[in-house]
């Protein structure tokens, strides 16, 4: 006997006691972890700082997926694991081992390691272990900056969940500098803005200068110069706490300009940015180019039915809205949470796509997903492709960061590529190294 | 430094081993964790997960539930799932966070069993122990709780104990074993952990013999011998001569040690699961008369099956020491161990992926123990001709197929 998987019509989101920062599934559900679920994970994000190393302190099981993803994606070289025993945890002795492990890492890494992140896990959250003073002592002793981050999904529902706090840690090495530069920092994303994006040209044209991101800094020294930028642009929600902290500590003002794929949304975001900068940006040609890219795909492939997942670089509801605006049909969105940034898009979708069904990746009933027989012409995100069996997929890799109107063109080109792609979902998905 | 991993990934944890054994038994399996532990198992330790409808879930433990000791939320979630999913039993499995708060699994399992009227197993796993401990725990739980008495007393056929993808990857080695047993008229009643559903596994007491294919099956086999009088043999068929000897043991015939072709004192190290490694050692003795062979493992080893010089490794530094203190010329092991031997100039390294070590990096790789090609490759290798060096053919094969071709 199998059950119909849990779903909600888009119209019921927010009208059945479900708020704007809440799960899309009932509280009494166990969590299903489909093969397609995941994100970059704390370890990979933490290691974005150039010439940095990470010491992951935990029971051995906690670090396994991060390590394997590290081998797959090439960030295992500067990643070290301190596996701790039950007695060490009970006695708090695991904290005593950390300095010795750090010294060994510094000794062997030589001057190639310019900073160290120590990552603690759920158990240390519950034990309230004092990692901060440990990091300070280590920094003082070795002269190498040491910061703390946490892979503690046990706090996922709190005000500072790990995907947010790890970005705080990533930018936590920055200290105030006197040398200011005309530059804009991109905060929140895992990749720097693609060179094809018009945003680089627009920022140069407007006098804002270079567009920086932690991944475009080749050295730790270069990364430290981000502290001298004049503006932080928050483009993905995960960077919110980091940007707030940089505003407070480094006095870099922050403007939110969420990475979006919809032409109307991008247009209005540019208008908001114009207000902040106090100048007009010459965006019309880029907007036209994006519109043409959409029309070309529609002319070629018609009104495709496209399912949208959440394991993507973007907001599921924003992407669903963008596709609907473009003239495609979006039958399903797979999303476990609705957050503030989704609100206006959900409201729009209620009016313009009332038949849209919202599934979750995580509801207990999704274990029987094969029984659903969901169909689409294309899926955005591995999770949507997994549930719409046999559907071609557009991964929207979290490490590749389109921006502005170029996001629309990028999405269209990825759709074209996916429709021609003959590789299997399983291989692509596992190679991406997503972790839960 | 003990506990510090600078090259290797952390190995598959105990909860992965437990889930792996229960995977095909149509139970409702719940890890009491925040989500990451379950993701470890489903996405990194379980090759069968993609496209499966096996009911393995996370309880989604949160900080406040842990601090307040709110087990009711967990219990209600399990009860709701049990009502919806119609599975045959429930298993609740621990992880690091509930270990810290001292969750009383026995009491929780008791409440769940009463509320759902389903048999409920519990496992005090902690994510600190490695996978084989978990497999062993799960096999013991099956032996203690899920076996149906053999009322008519008739016994025939064999059970295979200790098999999971964590040791056997895509199952080629097991398939070879089953083929060999069937060709020799030996009926297979059940394969615990890999290939049999609950009905077959629970009927295991009708078998006349248990075949233990990994360390993880030993405890359950010993229990079944003690309590039900079912004897067991330990090992896997590997290469021609050893396979003949192995099947003789299974059939209760006198085993004849074959004469070797020639003597060879190359220093050989087999790094891996103990039972599989021992079977390889035996095959190398029988088919090629290699005699200087050590077995080493990062995982549990049974003293009864260790030989002089065998080593239970507890840290990377143990392995470094072993490599430093010996002049190994031939090594069998997971590809991820390869870096420990980089400084040895003349080495034949044959990669045998071990899912509990390298996870999904190589888990579709096909390796046959029984066909003996691995022995022939070693014998034929140019390394054995002085002046020429050929290294690790299978490792090269893996590189050619591509580390990123993971389907």
- Find the CB nearest B9 among A38, A67, A151: A67
For residues A168 and A241, the answer to whether their CB atoms sit within 8 Å is yes
- What pLDDT, on the 0 to 100 scale, is given for residue B115? 97
CATH, range B14-129: 3.40.50.1980
- What pLDDT, on the 0 to 100 scale, is given for residue A2? 60
Cα dihedral: A436, B6, B11, B15 (round 10): -50
Higher pLDDT, A411 or A3: A411
The average confidence (pLDDT) of chain A is 94
A35 lies in some domain: no
The predicted model gives A360-376 an average pLDDT of 89
A347 lies in some domain: yes
For residues A167 and A227, state if they share a domain.
no
Q: Summarize pLDDT for A164-218 with one digit per residue, the tens.
A: 999 999 999 999 999 899 999 999 999 999 999 999 999 999 999 999 999 999 9
| Stretch among A121-130, A336-345, B294-303 having the lowest mean pLDDT | A336-345
**For residue B97, which residues of chain A lie inside 8 Å, CB to CB?**
122-123, 126, 154
As a whole-number percent, the residues of chain B with pLDDT over 90 amount to: 81
Instruction: Give the whole-angstrom CA distance, residue B233 versus residue B49.
Output: 31
Interface membership of A37 toward B (CB under 8 Å): yes
Q: If you ran DSSP here, which 8-state letter would residue A158 be given? A: S
Sheet with A79-83, edge to edge strand ranges: A146-151, A115-121, A52-58, A79-83, B4-5
DSSP string covering B120-147: EEEE---SSSBHHHHHHHHHHHHHHHTP
What residue spans of A261-392 are helical by DSSP H?
263-277, 284-301, 316-326, 343-352, 382-387
Q: Summarize pLDDT for B186-217 with one digit per residue, the tens.
A: 999 999 999 999 999 999 999 999 999 999 99
- What pLDDT, on the 0 to 100 scale, is given for residue B382? 54
Q: If you ran DSSP here, which 8-state letter would residue A173 be given? A: T
Q: Summarize pLDDT for A255-267 with one digit per residue, the tens.
A: 999 999 999 999 9
A289 lies in some domain: no
* Identical fold between B14-129 and B268-401: yes
CATH 3.40.50.300 assigned to B158-251: no
For residues A190 and A259, state if they share a domain.
yes
Question: For residue B394, what pLDDT band results from cuts at 50, 70 and 90?
Answer: very low
Q: Summarize pLDDT for B136-147 with one digit per residue, the tens.
A: 999 999 999 999
For residues A189 and A257, state if they share a domain.
yes
Nearest CA in chain B to A28: B77
- Find the CB nearest A365 among B11, B84, B101: B84
A358 lies in some domain: yes
Q: How many domains does chain A have?
A: 3
**Closest Cα partner for A34 from A376, A391, A436?**
A436
| Stretch among A161-165, A272-276, B103-107, B363-367 having the lowest mean pLDDT | B363-367
Using only C-alpha atoms, chain A has a radius of gyration, in whole angstroms, of: 22
Q: Is the pLDDT of residue B308 over 80?
A: yes
CATH level 2 (architecture), domain B268-401: 3-Layer(aba) Sandwich (3.40)
A176 lies in some domain: no
Element (H or E) spanning B348, and its range? strand B348-351
CB atoms within 10 A of CB A244: 15
What is the extent of the structural domain holding A21? Answer: 7-30+296-431
- What pLDDT, on the 0 to 100 scale, is given for residue B402? 40
A383 lies in some domain: yes
- What pLDDT, on the 0 to 100 scale, is given for residue B384? 56
Where in chain B are the domains? Answer: 14-129, 158-251, 268-401
**For residue A436, which residues of chain B lie inside 8 Å, CB to CB?**
35-36, 38-40, 42-43
We report the CATH number of the domain holding residue A412 as: 3.40.50
**For residue B93, which residues of chain A lie inside 8 Å, CB to CB?**
none
End-to-end Cα, chain A, rounded Å: 29
A256 lies in some domain: yes
Q: Is the pLDDT of residue A19 over 90?
A: no
Identify the domain boundary among A277, A304, A337.
A277
- What pLDDT, on the 0 to 100 scale, is given for residue B378? 84
């Amino acid at each position: 006997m199998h059950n119909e998987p849990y779903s909600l019509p888009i119209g019921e989101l927010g009208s059945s006691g479900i708020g704007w920062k809440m799960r899309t599934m009932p509280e009494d559900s166990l969590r299903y972890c489909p093969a397609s679920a995941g994100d970059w994970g704390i370890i990979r994000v933490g290691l974005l700082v150039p010439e940095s190393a990470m010491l992951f302190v935990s029971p051995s099981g906690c670090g396994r997926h991060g390590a394997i993803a590290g081998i797959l994606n090439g960030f295992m070289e500067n990643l070290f694991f301190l596996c701790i025993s039950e007695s060490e945890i009970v006695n708090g002795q695991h904290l005593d081992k950390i300095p010795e492990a750090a010294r060994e890492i510094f000794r062997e890494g030589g001057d190639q390691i310019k900073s160290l992140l120590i990552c603690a896990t759920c158990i240390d959250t519950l034990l309230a272990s004092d990692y901060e003073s440990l990091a300070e002592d280590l920094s003082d002793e070795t002269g190498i900056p040491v910061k703390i981050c946490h892979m503690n999904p046990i706090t996922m529902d709190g005000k500072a969940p790990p995907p947010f706090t790890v970005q705080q840690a990533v930018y936590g090495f920055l200290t105030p500098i006197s040398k200011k530069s005309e530059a804009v920092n991109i905060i929140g994303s895992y990749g720097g803005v693609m060179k094809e994006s018009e945003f680089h040209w627009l920022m140069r044209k407007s006098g804002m200068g270079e567009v920086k991101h932690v991944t475009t800094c080749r050295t730790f020294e270069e990364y430290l110069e981000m502290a001298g930028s004049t503006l932080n642009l928050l483009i993905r929600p995960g960077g919110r706490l980091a940007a707030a902290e940089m505003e407070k500590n480094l006095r870099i003002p922050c403007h939110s300009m969420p990475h979006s794929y919809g032409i109307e949304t991008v247009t209005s975001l540019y208008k908001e940015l114009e207000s902040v900068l106090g100048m007009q940006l010459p965006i019309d040609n880029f907007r036209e180019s994006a519109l043409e890219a959409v029309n070309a795909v529609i002319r070629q492939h018609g009104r495709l039915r496209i399912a949208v997942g959440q394991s993507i670089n973007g907001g599921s509801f924003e992407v669903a809205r963008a596709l609907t605006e473009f003239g495609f049909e979006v039958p399903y969105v797979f999303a476990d949470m609705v957050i503030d940034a989704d609100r206006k898009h959900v409201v729009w979708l209620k009016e313009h796509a009332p038949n849209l069904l919202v599934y979750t990746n995580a509801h207990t009933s999704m274990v029987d997903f094969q029984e659903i027989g969901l169909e689409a012409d294309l899926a955005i995100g591995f999770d949507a492709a997994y549930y719409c069996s046999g559907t071609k997929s557009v991964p929207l890799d979290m490490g590749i960061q389109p921006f502005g109107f170029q996001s629309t063109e990028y999405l269209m080109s990825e759709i074209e590529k996916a429709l021609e792609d003959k590789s299997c979902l399983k291989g692509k998905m596992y190679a991406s190294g997503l972790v839960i | 430094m003990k506990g510090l991993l600078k090259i290797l990934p952390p190995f598959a944890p105990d909860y992965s081993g437990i889930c792996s054994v229960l995977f095909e038994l149509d139970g409702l399996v719940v890890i009491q964790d925040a989500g990451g532990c379950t993701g470890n198992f489903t996405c990194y330790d379980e090759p069968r997960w993609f496209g499966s409808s096996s009911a393995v879930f996370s309880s989604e433990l949160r900080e406040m539930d842990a601090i307040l000791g709110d087990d009711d939320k967990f219990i209600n979630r399990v009860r709701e799932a049990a009502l919806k999913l119609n599975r045959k039993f429930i298993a609740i499995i621990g992880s690091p966070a509930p270990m810290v708060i001292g969750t009383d699994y026995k009491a929780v399992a008791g409440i769940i069993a009463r509320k759902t009227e389903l048999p409920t197993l519990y496992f005090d796993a902690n994510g600190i122990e490695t996978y084989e401990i978990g497999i062993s725990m799960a096999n013991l739980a099956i032996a203690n709780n899920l076996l149906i008495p053999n009322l008519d007393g008739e016994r025939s056929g064999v059970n295979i104990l200790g098999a999971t993808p964590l040791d056997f990857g895509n199952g080629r080695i097991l398939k070879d074993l089953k083929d060999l047993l069937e060709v020799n008229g030996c009926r297979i009643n059940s394969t615990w952990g890999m290939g049999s559903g609950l009905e077959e596994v629970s009927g295991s007491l009708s078998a006349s013999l248990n075949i233990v294919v990994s360390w993880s099956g030993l405890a359950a086999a010993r229990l079944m011998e003690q309590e039900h009088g079912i004897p067991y043999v330990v090992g896997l068929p590997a290469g021609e001569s050893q396979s003949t000897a192995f099947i003789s043991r299974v059939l209760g015939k006198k085993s004849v040690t074959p004469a070797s072709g020639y003597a060879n004192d190359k220093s050989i190290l087999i790094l891996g699961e103990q039972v599989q490694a021992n079977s390889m050692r035996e095959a190398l003795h029988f088919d090629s008369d290699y005699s200087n062979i050590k077995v080493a493992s990062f995982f549990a080893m049974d003293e009864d099956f260790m030989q002089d010089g065998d080593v239970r490794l507890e840290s990377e530094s143990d392995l470094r020491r072993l490599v430093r203190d010996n002049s190994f010329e031939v090594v069998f092991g997971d590809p991820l161990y390869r870096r420990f031997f980089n400084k040895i100039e003349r080495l034949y390294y044959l990669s045998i992926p071990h899912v509990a070590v390298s996870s999904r990096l190589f888990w579709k790789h096909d390796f046959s123990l029984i066909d003996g090609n691995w022995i022939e490759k070693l014998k034929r290798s140019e390394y054995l001709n002085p002046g020429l060096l050929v290294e690790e053919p299978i490792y090269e094969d893996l590189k050619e197929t591509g580390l990123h071709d993971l389907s």
